[in-house]
Amino acid sequence: MKLILAVIQDQDSNKLMNALVDNNFRATKLASTGGFLKSGNTTFMIGTEDIRVDRAMQIIKENCRARDQLVAPVSPMGGNADSYVPYPVEVEVGGATVFVLPVEQFHHF
């Protein structure tokens, strides 16, 4: 058995949950916050049999897309903030960060 942890953007959350349910995967959704952009994410915990991991990964890949986003850079620490002009920078965000972990035991009470 495996535990899949998938960190995705909030915008893809409902679409992914619907696709997982349609394919008979059980998942728990957790609200989370990213460290890089400090924006809202959703973390999915999906427990599944080893033979279904590839299908779960395919569903995640199909429903979580990367997108470009403009972000304002953080002012430099210790520098003169008066001369710092924050120009937005375009970065790629989204997609999915996925961890697949072995599960020694699973209990449902």
Q: Name which residue leads in pLDDT, 92 or 66.
A: 66
In a domain? residue 79: no
Residue range(s) defining the domain that contains residue 35:
2-73+85-102
CATH of the domain at 9: 3.30.70.120
Cα separation, 67 vs 6, in Å, equals 17
For 56-84, what is each residue's pLDDT tens digit?
999 999 999 876 666 666 655 555 555 55
More confident: 82 or 88: 88
- How many domains are contained in the chain? 1
pLDDT in tens, 46-56: 999 999 999 99
DSSP codes of every residue in 56-109? HHHHHHHH--EEEEEEPPPPPTTS-GGG-----EEEEEESEEEEEEE-S-----
Q: Is residue 66 part of a domain?
A: yes
Q: Identify whether 45 is part of a domain.
A: yes
Task: Look at residue 107 and tell me if it is in a domain.
Answer: no
Residue whose token pair is 């120009």: 87
User: Is 38 inside any structural domain?
Assistant: yes
Q: Which of 73, 61, 63, 65 is nearest to 93 (CA)?
A: 65
